[in-house]
Structure 1
Amino acid sequence: MTVPAFNSVAWFEFGTDRPEKVKEFYGELFDWKYVLNTNTPGVTYHSVMPPGAQQPAGGVWESEGGFPNYAIFYVFVQDVAATVERAEKLGAEVLMAPVSDAAGFTFARLQDTAGNHFGVFSTPAP
């Protein structure tokens, strides 16, 4: 598995109440395939597999109408909690506090000072 550089955009995500439409559109446009990810109980999430990739590059979260549709990017960081704390000091708003899934990935969502949503994540310790 290739590990991205810290502080680089390394994941994207769609949150949608119309997951089949999203998967069909981007699947046809970019030849993406989708794999069900079961690491977060109670969440229906499909990882995006670009052509020739050995690992996913993003995901589709099925909202079931629980939140507005969105598309965001995630930045790979060493420490999610420390990054969230620093972002808050710079004026960001925390939209989703840091959480970890069953595989050990930790992620959070923020809103920058211009109103844009983005996420940060880290991988499990080796």
Structure 2
Amino acid sequence: MTVPAFNSVAWFEFGSDQPEKVKEFYGELFDWNYVLNTNTPGVTYHSVMPPGAQQPAGGVWDSEGNFPNYAIFYVLVQDVTATVERARELGAEVLMEPVSDSAGFSFVRLQDTAGNYFGVFSAPTP
């Protein structure tokens, strides 16, 4: 199994009030499979498993209509807090403060100076 390099796009996510449609469309298009992720209680989240992959590459979050549908990419970083501070210095806006799940992943959503949404995350050390 290969580990993505720091500062590279290493995850994507769809948030949708119609997650079954999202999973069906991309599953048919790319032959993706989905595994229920239970690391964040109260959140319905399915990890995306591309064909032949040993680890998930992204996820589908059931928004339950609580926010608009979206697609976003995440960059793997060594330090979420330091990256958020640097992004703010460069003019980014924090859309969602950092969150950590029970598996030890930390992530945050940001908006760049051109209005694009993106996220950064760090993984637990093995």
* TM-score, normalised by the number of residues in structure 2: 0.98
Deviation, structure 1 residue 35: 0.1
The CA distance in 1 between the partners of 2:8 and 2:61, in whole Å, is: 22
1:55-74 correspondence runs (5 A):
55-74=55-74
5+ residue gaps, structure 2, are none
SS of residue paired to 2:54: coil
Partner of 1:16: 16
1:98-109 correspondence runs (5 A):
98-109=98-109
SS of residue paired to 2:102: coil
1:80 aligns with 2:68: no
Deviation readout 1:74-104 (Å, 9 max, x if unpaired): 0000000100010000000000111100000
5+ residue gaps, structure 1, are none
The CA distance in 1 between the partners of 2:99 and 2:2, in whole Å, is: 23
The CA distance in 1 between the partners of 2:44 and 2:2, in whole Å, is: 26
The CA distance in 2 between the partners of 1:31 and 1:5, in whole Å, is: 25
Q: What is the percent sequence identity of the aligned residues?
A: 87
Following TM superposition, where does structure 1 have runs of at least 4 consecutive aligned residues deviating by more than 2 angstroms?
none
1:34 aligns with 2:34: yes
Deviation, structure 1 residue 2: 1.9
The CA distance in 1 between the partners of 2:85 and 2:125, in whole Å, is: 20
Give the number of aligned pairs.
126
* TM-score, normalised by the number of residues in structure 1: 0.98
SS of residue paired to 2:110: strand
Give the aligned residue type for 2:59: G
The CA distance in 2 between the partners of 1:80 and 1:9, in whole Å, is: 14
Give the aligned residue type for 1:103: A
SS of residue paired to 1:121: strand
